Amino acid sequence: MLDLTVNRDSKPPLYRQIAEQIRTQISNGRLPANSRLPTVRGLARSLGVTRLTVQNAYAELQADGWIEATVGRGTFVSTAVQQMSLEPTVGQYLTPDSAINDMLAINQVIGVRSMAMAHADPTLFPLDAFWSHMDQLRPEANQLLSYGPIQGDTPLRVEICKMLREDGIPSSPDDILITTGAMQSISLALTAVAQPGDGILVEQPTFLAVLNILKAQGLRPLHVEMLPDGPDLAQLEQRIIEQRPRCYYTVANYHNPTGYCLSPAKRQAILQLAQRYNFLIIEDDIYGKLGFDGPPPRSFKQQDPDDRVLYVSSFSKMLMPGLRVGYLLMPPAWRSQLLTLRRATDLCGTSLIQRALAHFLQDGGLKKHLRRVIPIYRERRDALLNSLSRWMPTAVRWSEPQGGFSCWVTLPRRLPPGLLYQQALENGFAFTPGEAYMLDDDGRDYLRLCFGNLSAEGIEAGVKLLSALIQQQLTSSTPAGDWLPYV
Amino acid sequence: MLDLTVNRDSKPPLYRQIAEQIRTQISNGRLPANSRLPTVRGLARSLGVTRLTVQNAYAELQADGWIEATVGRGTFVSTAVQQMSLEPTVGQYLTPDSAINDMLAINQVIGVRSMAMAHADPTLFPLDAFWSHMDQLRPEANQLLSYGPIQGDTPLRVEICKMLREDGIPSSPDDILITTGAMQSISLALTAVAQPGDGILVEQPTFLAVLNILKAQGLRPLHVEMLPDGPDLAQLEQRIIEQRPRCYYTVANYHNPTGYCLSPAKRQAILQLAQRYNFLIIEDDIYGKLGFDGPPPRSFKQQDPDDRVLYVSSFSKMLMPGLRVGYLLMPPAWRSQLLTLRRATDLCGTSLIQRALAHFLQDGGLKKHLRRVIPIYRERRDALLNSLSRWMPTAVRWSEPQGGFSCWVTLPRRLPPGLLYQQALENGFAFTPGEAYMLDDDGRDYLRLCFGNLSAEGIEAGVKLLSALIQQQLTSSTPAGDWLPYV
């Protein structure tokens, strides 16, 4: 029989409390696929709630694919749950590449509560508004399904320029290159400005896909430790003097994976170093519009007198990643080279989606959306920080993100690689192991928790589970298997 | 006053004859932007046709953006026509890169009759069917606008496998990588299999974007002359022995830009050479489903015992390029490397579009579409060949394509580079100069005419204009400007 409780004083409505607990029990395997659930009438009676409450809970679970109802037979845990065998590639040989692979695979599995991806909540996407713009494009669709301009749809570039202008970054539509996500902007920018063997400065930890790009392009990552207010400047200058980097890649706002924000002073200092030692800056501002307490500090691009900043962003985090719309503000010196590279890569993206997005922006849809979702994400951040305070062992530390989706958790010592991750997955919970974001480590262990895509209850349940696993690992004197702790 | 004639014995309906003649006069500048057109009543009377006929002609021109009607003011040539200044980059320094740029720019200009792009006719796209599949996805759209799988939408990969199986190519969905057009497949395939400096065999002439990709990746193009039944085998083997290529890139079916088709014997011979000298084959089959007289010969991939063929195709030519859906059949040995590269490039495409396409395919939409459009494209090919026979000077030669969109025209001697192109553009007609597709030349001049995207009347009008310009050039004893003919 189901073990459920409801709390009438608690904030989430009763039906959500019920749905959430059932989801948890499916996730952690207590309710395996094909388990029969109680009848609506039976569960309502045993919990002392109305039948409508249970019906609502079941309807939500059914809509999300967790359970299936067949008239006359009853309600069962869906066979789609855990249908996909999870074969994580992590462990001793975790690479950024395998970590991305795992994250995307886990994203496709119903039945895992995932804090692994820095993903906007898809259920918050303003689908009605977006879809109505798509519908209005139908008369032009034949044209919009032809080859579009290399640089991307012109009306969308106009709208992006307006956004940039509001952020204090003047530009013209001719300066904008629309790409398949920010990923392609970063990849093209690095191809354009760097030669194989060139040193590229990255924060440690950093956005793991960039480590992937550097490896694929034969570039040499140079890491500088990320502190809560930005990179360690002394270490940075030393690296610069020793290694003469071509470029510095930074996520200055609500940094992935730490959630940190570079202070205005550090931004200034880095720009001065860039001028003194003549390197370029790739500024990845993908989280910049997701500040919980007002806008972030002035961007690098806002204070870039000699056009050495290649500014990158995308709609993946502020709207939805499946739009696959990122953009690069091309400094004049690199424009022609970047366009040539785009023509030698994949020519152009889907104008239909780009034009619908342009009309959505024109209509004020993004601003309206951000006004709605930022309080929700702020609440989830709060739920995460509260849960961490409440459940985590005392030696564990974490960042306090002022925006974005990422929180960085630091354990006091190294655990056997992959073990915690594996145990969490077996219990239906996913995070990303910190080693994926690191070029080397200092004997501590890290993990990234993303809070954008789960309800406050889901976050608390996940943190509680994870805390118990960490507690267990930290207190076990002999590590599992062949592993020896490094400290 | 408009100078129009109608021919009641001619095949196109009267309204199309009228629309076509007005379009021509707008294209060649005889009717500049903002010119007032006659009233419906007036034109109907002067031509001796019904008012409905003129109304239909005007409606078509208006729908295509050529003219604008304002109640009470009248009907005018659209200001959008020729609004964009055409600054072609061709001339002495024509490169594949600049040619692609020109083609895409010209594609955006209303008012040019373009045979420059190997483009499906957008007006033939089965928008109703496709759109209804999009509409049905609305309940799942939040999910489909999230990150999708690296390899592309799974249901679409299942459908692609079915298509491949019907073509005698067995595969599993795990072998398919969905990319942004065939372009990205080719680009990733070359990055995966070749190192900078490696020699890559290409037909001469060849798909110009591939020349671009080779250049961007630091690969060494090795050309072999394309004859009507495929490459010159003696020259091919000599190149292979001298240069030890890594790979052979071929468009075996309805080759771009020539329209040629490799004979079964030459396919066999090339496969044997590949085995003997151990090089790979990238088979670009983007036109393979567009045969006018039944299917093409057996593909390389169908006769590939040791998995050395990387098979590439896309929906760009058989449906619409703006879908940006291409695919690569990954040999097992290259699968992991290709997926890693995709993760280091742009992660994934738009699942929403991919899923709609999957449902369209599942529904038989593609087969139905091809049954409808192939007779139309065949008719346009016939119109082109008939017009060439009728209007071209006798010394001019051309290919007789059995499928695809490209026809290759050979002039008896070299003309001043860019001059013909420039003159044609000034008269509102675009083609692509052959030099964009060539690595070297033999003193003759070439051009590509694409017949997929114009009506039979448009094709005839274009060929007639071009023929006159060529005649004029060939008979002028002193070439224009500083140019001396090479022969």
User: Could you tell me which residue, A108 or B256, shows the higher pLDDT?
Assistant: B256
Query: What is the residue-wise DSSP string for A278-343?
Result: T-EEEEE-TTTT-BBTB--SPPTGGG-TTS-EEEEEESTTTT-GGG--EEEE--HHHHHHHHHHHH
| Domains recognised in chain B with CATH numbers | 14-77 (1.10.10.10), 96-123+368-475 (3.90.1150.10), 127-366 (3.40.640.10)
Tens digits of residue pLDDT in A272-289: 999 999 999 999 999 999
Q: Residue B15 belongs to what H/E stretch?
A: helix B14-27
Instruction: Determine, for residues A349 and B149 on separate chains, whether the beta-carbon distance falls below 8 Å.
Output: no
CB-based contact B473:B455 (threshold 8 Å): no
CA A301/CA A25 separation, integer angstroms: 48
Nearest CA in chain A to B350: A322
Nearest to A145 among B213, B216, B323 (CB): B323
B449's tokens: 């005419």
CB-based contact B359:B206 (threshold 8 Å): no
Q: What is the pLDDT of residue A94?
A: 56
- Kindly list the residues from chain A whose CB atom is less than 8 angstroms away from the CB atom of residue B138: 127, 131
A395's tokens: 């030696």
Count the alpha carbons within 13 Å of B35 in the hemisphere toward its beta carbon.
Answer: 17
**Sheet containing A326-329: order of strands:** A176-179, A326-329, A309-314, A280-284, A247-250, A199-204, A220-227, A230-231
Give mean pLDDT in consecutive 10-residue pieces for chain A, a chain of 487 residues. 76 81 74 85 88 85 79 79 42 59 64 86 96 95 91 94 95 95 98 96 95 94 97 97 97 97 98 97 98 95 96 97 97 94 93 96 97 98 98 96 97 86 88 88 88 94 95 73 38
User: Could you tell me which residue, B108 or A320, shows the higher pLDDT?
Assistant: A320
Min Cα distance A276 → chain B (Å) is 31
Min Cα distance B444 → chain A (Å) is 28
Residue B224 neighbours by CB under 8 Å, 6+ apart = B201, B202, B203, B204, B231, B232, B235, B236, B239
- Kindly list the residues from chain B whose CB atom is less than 8 angstroms away from the CB atom of residue A147: 104, 107, 117, 119, 321-322
A330's tokens: 């091309």
Min Cα distance B74 → chain A (Å) is 24
Report the DSSP pairing between strands B406-411 and B397-398.
Answer: antiparallel
Nearest to B321 among A123, A147, A180 (CB): A147
Instruction: Determine, for residues B142 and A127 on separate chains, whether the beta-carbon distance falls below 8 Å.
Output: yes
Q: What is the pLDDT of residue B280?
A: 97
CA A433/CA A100 separation, integer angstroms: 11
Give the distance between the most distant pair of CA atoms in chain B: 75
The reply to whether A151 touches chain B by the CB within 8 Å rule is no
Residue B3 has pLDDT above 80, yes or no: no
Q: What is the pLDDT of residue B480?
A: 45
Task: Report the first-to-last Cα separation within chain B, whole angstroms.
Answer: 45
Residue B186 has pLDDT above 90, yes or no: yes
CA A64 to chain centre: 21
pTM of the model: 0.81
Closest C-alpha among A443, A474, A447 to residue A384: A447
Q: What is the pLDDT of residue A29?
A: 66
Query: What is the residue-wise DSSP string for A152-210?
Result: --HHHHHHHHHHHHHTT----GGGEEEESHHHHHHHHHHHHH--TT-EEEEEES--HHH
**Counting beta carbons within 10 angstroms of the beta carbon of residue B256, is it exposed (0 to 12), middle (13 to 18) or buried (19 or more)?**
buried
Count the alpha carbons within 13 Å of B110 in the hemisphere toward its beta carbon.
Answer: 18
The reply to whether B108 touches chain A by the CB within 8 Å rule is yes
CA B397/CA B363 separation, integer angstroms: 43
Residue B465 has pLDDT above 70, yes or no: yes
Q: What is the pLDDT of residue A483?
A: 41
Residue B112 has pLDDT above 80, yes or no: no
- Kindly list the residues from chain A whose CB atom is less than 8 angstroms away from the CB atom of residue B101: 150, 339, 343
Query: What is the residue-wise DSSP string for B418-448?
Result: THHHHHHHHTTEE-EEGGGG-SS--S-EEEE
Residue B45 has pLDDT above 70, yes or no: yes
Instruction: Determine, for residues B215 and A344 on separate chains, whether the beta-carbon distance falls below 8 Å.
Output: yes
The reply to whether B5 touches chain A by the CB within 8 Å rule is no
Count of CB atoms situated within 10 Å of the CB of A382 = 14
Q: What are phi and psi of B484, to 5 degrees?
A: -110, 135
Q: What is the pLDDT of residue B436?
A: 85
Closest C-alpha among A51, A107, A52, A58 to residue A78: A58
State which amino acid sits at residue B164.
L
Average pLDDT, chain B: 89
Mutate to test the interface with A, among B119, B146, B215, B328 (most CBs of A within 10 A): B146
Q: What is the pLDDT of residue A80?
A: 64
Counted across chains A and B, CB pairs separated by less than 8 A come out at 171
Distances (CA, A) of B74 to A216, A290, B21, B48, B70: 60, 51, 19, 21, 6
- Kindly list the residues from chain A whose CB atom is less than 8 angstroms away from the CB atom of residue B215: 344
Q: What is the pLDDT of residue A52?
A: 83
> Please, which pLDDT band fits residue B27 given cuts at 50, 70 and 90?
low
Helices and strands of chain B, counted as H and E runs: 16, 16
Summarize the confidence of residues B414-421 as an average pLDDT: 84
- Kindly list the residues from chain A whose CB atom is less than 8 angstroms away from the CB atom of residue B322: 144-148, 350-352
CB-based contact B283:B253 (threshold 8 Å): no
The reply to whether B286 touches chain A by the CB within 8 Å rule is no
Tens digits of residue pLDDT in B260-287: 999 999 999 999 999 999 999 999 999 9
Cα angle for residues A312, A314, A317 (degrees, 5° grid) = 125
Residue B76 has pLDDT above 80, yes or no: yes
A36's tokens: 């029969």
Bridge partners, residue A282, by sequence: A249, A310
CB-based contact A355:A137 (threshold 8 Å): yes
Q: What is the pLDDT of residue A416?
A: 83
Bridge partners, residue A450, by sequence: A406
Q: What is the dihedral of CA B148, B151, B157, B160, to 10 degrees?
A: 130
Residue B268 neighbours by CB under 8 Å, 6+ apart = B303
The reply to whether B350 touches chain A by the CB within 8 Å rule is yes
Three-state secondary-structure class, residue A57? helix
Mutate to test the interface with B, among A84, A147, A185 (most CBs of B within 10 A): A147
CA A466/CA A116 separation, integer angstroms: 13
Closest C-alpha among B374, B317, B363 to residue B132: B363
Min Cα distance B387 → chain A (Å) is 27
Count the alpha carbons within 13 Å of B444 in the hemisphere toward its beta carbon.
Answer: 12
CA A314/CA A329 separation, integer angstroms: 11
Q: What is the pLDDT of residue B104?
A: 67
State which amino acid sits at residue B340.
T
Q: What is the pLDDT of residue A6?
A: 82
Q: Which of residues 320-339 of A touch B (CB under 8 A)?
A: 320-324, 339
How is residue B125 annotated by DSSP? Answer: S
Summarize the confidence of residues B457-461 as an average pLDDT: 94
The reply to whether A98 touches chain B by the CB within 8 Å rule is no
CA A67/CA A74 separation, integer angstroms: 11
Distances (CA, A) of B407 to A2, B193, B385: 71, 31, 9
The reply to whether B142 touches chain A by the CB within 8 Å rule is yes
Q: What is the pLDDT of residue A86?
A: 41
Instruction: Determine, for residues B145 and A125 on separate chains, whether the beta-carbon distance falls below 8 Å.
Output: yes
Cα angle for residues B246, B253, B364 (degrees, 5° grid) = 120
B70's tokens: 């304002």
Q: What is the pLDDT of residue A4?
A: 84
Residue A301 neighbours by CB under 8 Å, 6+ apart = A169, A283, A285, A309, A311, A329
Q: What is the pLDDT of residue B107?
A: 60
Instruction: Determine, for residues B104 and A150 on separate chains, whether the beta-carbon distance falls below 8 Å.
Output: yes
CB-based contact A396:A408 (threshold 8 Å): no
CA B252 to chain centre: 15
Question: Sign of the C-alpha dihedral, residues B203, B207, B211, B213?
Answer: negative
How many residues in chain A? 487
